[in-house]
Structure 1
Amino acid sequence: MHIVMFGDQHVETLGGAQVSMRLQRAFLERAGHTVTIVAPRRHGPRAHTGANDPGYLDLPSVPVTLDREYAMTWPGARAERVLDAEMATRPPVDVVHVQGDFWGAFLGLRFAERHGLPVVITMHNRVDVGIRAVAPAPGLVLRGLNRWGRHVLGETNTQGKDGWAYLRLLASRADAVTAPSAHFARRLEEHRVFEHVDIIWNGIDDDAYRAVLDKPQTERTSRRPRLVWVGRMSPEKRLLPFLEAVVASGIDVDIEVIGNGAQRAAAQRVAERAQASVYFLGSLPYRETLRRIRAADALVQTSIGFETQGMTIFEAASVGTPSIVCDPDLVAELGSGTWPVADDSVAALAEALRAATADIQRGCAPQPAADIAARFQQSSRTRAMLEVYARVIQSHAAR
């Protein structure tokens, strides 16, 4: 089977969807399938990463962030000519798997339409929440996004101007829709995005998981509790409220912040006021990130409403690390091994940090369920996705 995946960002960039797509590709290829990943070409000092990988099809792009980490491809005739010419040199395609929300989605849906191919869409993101977090006029942006999508896709039968209307527009071209959590699948169905959404968690790399568990823990130089925060440093991830809560809580702990983004300088300024020792480690390789999550006493997950799964808390649970979690949907999804935060205030997060620190020091931290690791490994997630692929291919062929 040849699966062509479309993403908004190159999978070598930072982000949960990108990590998931890399893992999906690796385990699909391990199962004997061929995968092509279509995404914008990278820019800046990391542009060479993956440049010669035959599984990547990089389209012309322009950088969209100051650090040149992220880029966009205009979903027009030029990109489609490059895409079709390159795909003509590759094996015939069996299924298109769209895993982007913007230009990646448009390019993937139009490619599938041109070539008469079945489409699976994995919805990784709450588009409305993300846009509200980063756009100065989110209502205007969402209206424009809906108009742009209808224009690019030539759609005249859908209406609406919010994030759910936009996701309905994309799903109207799909044979199946999957979501990485039960709570997001439920919301997609409630908002009539798709009648039945398949729940398929994003997974953890089986090999990385075993390697991290097999490696002995290094001796700590500090006996203070250690917390770790992992993610993109942007408003929807709520790094700044976390660090403000650290200041307000007065906890005396070591905190490792893994990731990069536009808010790094502001975060460092807040951290200077904390009693805790805060270490900004930048972006780390996947296995090193897992190793540091395992070595921590707790992971802190601060976004609310934005995450459709919350990959880091599942990674933490898989290696036995409990989490301090702000989003009640994520608390319910994980089911165990958490300190829930009462509400979205800095005060509530500060109180949860104090409670978690006290529990860690007393040796009574909550423990994640033992079966999370097996249910979360990518090999099991790939088997579930292959069942979806087979279903839509068979259904499409019967039409």
Structure 2
Amino acid sequence: MHVVMFGDQHVESLGGAQVSMRLQREFLERAGHVVTIVAPAMHRARGTALTPDPAYVDVPSMPITFDREYSLSWPAGRTDRWIDDALAGRPGVDVVHVQSDFWGAFLGHRFAARHDLPIVHTMHNRVDVGIAATAPAPRTVLRALSAWQRRAIGSDTRGSDGWAYLRRFAERSSAVTAPSSHFARRLEENAVVPAHDGTVDVIWNGIHDDLLDEVRTRTPAGSGRRPRLVWLGRMSPEKRLMPFLEALAFARPDADVEIIGGGSQLRAAQRFVTAHGLDAPTGTSVGFAGRLPYAETLRRIHRADAVVQTSIGFETQGMTVFEAASLGTPAVVSDPDIAPELGAGRWDVADASVEALGETLRVAVSDISAASAPVPDEGVAAAFRQSSRTSAMLEVYARIL
């Protein structure tokens, strides 16, 4: 089987969807299938060019962020022809798997329509919440985005909220998948389902089997020192890094805190830590590790005593806490949608306030110090392995074929 995946961003760029697509590609190839990934070409600085990979179709693009990490490929006739030419010499395509929400999704749906191919669309993004958290005029942005989408994929479906936007993709898809039960439920409640079927398939994003085994067996769990907390992710408003730091300043738990990742709020976060004395060697001590390779990030999670998850309403899965549970590390969970699906091994934050998060951090650090922290469910590790996730996706492919 030849599966062509479409992404909004190159899979070697930062992001949970990109990590998931790389894993899916590897495990589909292990199962004997052919995978091509179509995404905007990257524009990294000189000296950091990517090694050519035959599975990648790097579509002509323009950089859209100052650090040149992310790019945009314009969905129009010239780009369509470029993609058709790039795929012409490859095996015949069986399934188009769209794992994007914007220009990558437009290009994927246009490609499938031109070649009369079935589409699986994985919904990675809660579009309305994400735009509300990052855009100064979210309603205007959604209206403009919806108009762009209708022109790009030829839709007559009305509506300009986030659900209508996702619905236009779903009604053109043979199957829709979501990475969590809570997001699948929301999609179904808002009619974001395939036209012929009113259900959404739940398939978690997974973790590399070999890497999971390597980290669990070769990396010592816990630091053996005072409690160590880890926060990781993109430093942007919807991830709520700043409220986390405010909660630390409020609660002052006696713990080492490691911040992993990068993004637009890095400097503001560093200034806050310095201004509030959170960088001292005693008390609450916060350090910034920067962006780390995925394997090293998992090792840091495994060595930590707890992972802190702070976004609310934005995550369609919440990869970090599932990665933590797979590695035996409990989590402080702010999002009430994520908590039930994660199961055991967590401290729940009562509400979205800084004070509630701070109090939960105090309790977590106290439990860790007393060796009474909750223990994650071992079943999560088995269900989170990429091999099991790929088997589930292959069943979807077979069904639509």
Tell me the TM-score normalized by structure 1.
Answer: 0.96
Distance, in Å, in 2 between the alignment partners of 1:370 and 1:38 is 36
Helix, strand or coil at the partner of 2:378: coil
Distance, in Å, in 2 between the alignment partners of 1:10 and 1:285 is 16
Unaligned 5+ runs, structure 2: none
Which piece of structure 1 moves more, 78-87 or 18-27? 78-87
Once the two structures are TM-superposed, the CA of residue 51 in structure 1 deviates from its matched residue by 4.1
Instruction: Note closer, same or farther for the CA distance 1:240–1:184 as it changes in structure 2 (3 Å cut).
Output: same
Instruction: Note closer, same or farther for the CA distance 1:377–1:47 as it changes in structure 2 (3 Å cut).
Output: farther
For 1:303, give the aligned amino acid. S
For 1:327, give the aligned amino acid. D
Distance, in Å, in 2 between the alignment partners of 1:51 and 1:198 is 35
Q: How does 1:54-65 map to 2 (within 5 A)?
A: 54-65=54-65
Distance, in Å, in 1 between the alignment partners of 2:360 and 2:37 is 41
Q: Could you say which residue in structure 1 is the equivalent of 2:88? A: 88
Please tell me whether the aligned partners of residues 121 and 170 of structure 2 are also in contact (alpha carbons under 8 angstroms): yes
Distance, in Å, in 2 between the alignment partners of 1:271 and 1:343 is 23
For 1:292, give the aligned amino acid. R
Please tell me whether the aligned partners of residues 2 and 33 of structure 2 are also in contact (alpha carbons under 8 angstroms): yes
For 1:151, give the aligned amino acid. R
Distance, in Å, in 2 between the alignment partners of 1:259 and 1:46 is 22
Unaligned 5+ runs, structure 1: 394-399
Q: Could you say which residue in structure 2 is the equivalent of 1:208? A: 211
Helix, strand or coil at the partner of 1:217: coil
For 2:387, give the aligned amino acid. S
Which piece of structure 1 moves more, 70-79 or 339-348? 70-79
Helix, strand or coil at the partner of 2:150: helix
Once the two structures are TM-superposed, the CA of residue 45 in structure 1 deviates from its matched residue by 2.7
Instruction: Note closer, same or farther for the CA distance 1:305–1:219 as it changes in structure 2 (3 Å cut).
Output: closer
Tell me the TM-score normalized by structure 2.
Answer: 0.95
Q: Could you say which residue in structure 1 is the equivalent of 2:233? A: 231
Q: How does 1:332-371 map to 2 (within 5 A)?
A: 332-371=340-379
Alignment match of 2:383 (pick from 350, 375, 398):
375
Distance, in Å, in 1 between the alignment partners of 2:47 and 2:251 is 41
Please tell me whether the aligned partners of residues 5 and 98 of structure 2 are also in contact (alpha carbons under 8 angstroms): yes
Q: Could you say which residue in structure 2 is the equivalent of 1:186? A: 185
Once the two structures are TM-superposed, the CA of residue 219 in structure 1 deviates from its matched residue by 8.6
Q: Could you say which residue in structure 2 is the equivalent of 1:396? A: none
CA-to-partner distance for each residue in 1:305-330, whole Å, 9 max, x for gaps?
A: 00000001000000100000100000
Which piece of structure 1 moves more, 76-85 or 41-50? 41-50
Once the two structures are TM-superposed, the CA of residue 49 in structure 1 deviates from its matched residue by 5.0
Helix, strand or coil at the partner of 1:389: helix
Residue 242 of structure 1 pairs with residue 261 of structure 2: no
Distance, in Å, in 2 between the alignment partners of 1:163 and 1:267 is 30
Q: How does 1:1-399 map to 2 (within 5 A)?
A: 1-45=1-45, 48-156=48-156, 158-194=157-193, 195-217=198-220, 220=223, 223-272=225-274, 273=276, 274=278, 275-393=283-401
Distance, in Å, in 2 between the alignment partners of 1:167 and 1:374 is 31
RMSD: 1.3
Moved over 3 A (4+): 46-51
Once the two structures are TM-superposed, the CA of residue 50 in structure 1 deviates from its matched residue by 3.8
Helix, strand or coil at the partner of 1:278: strand
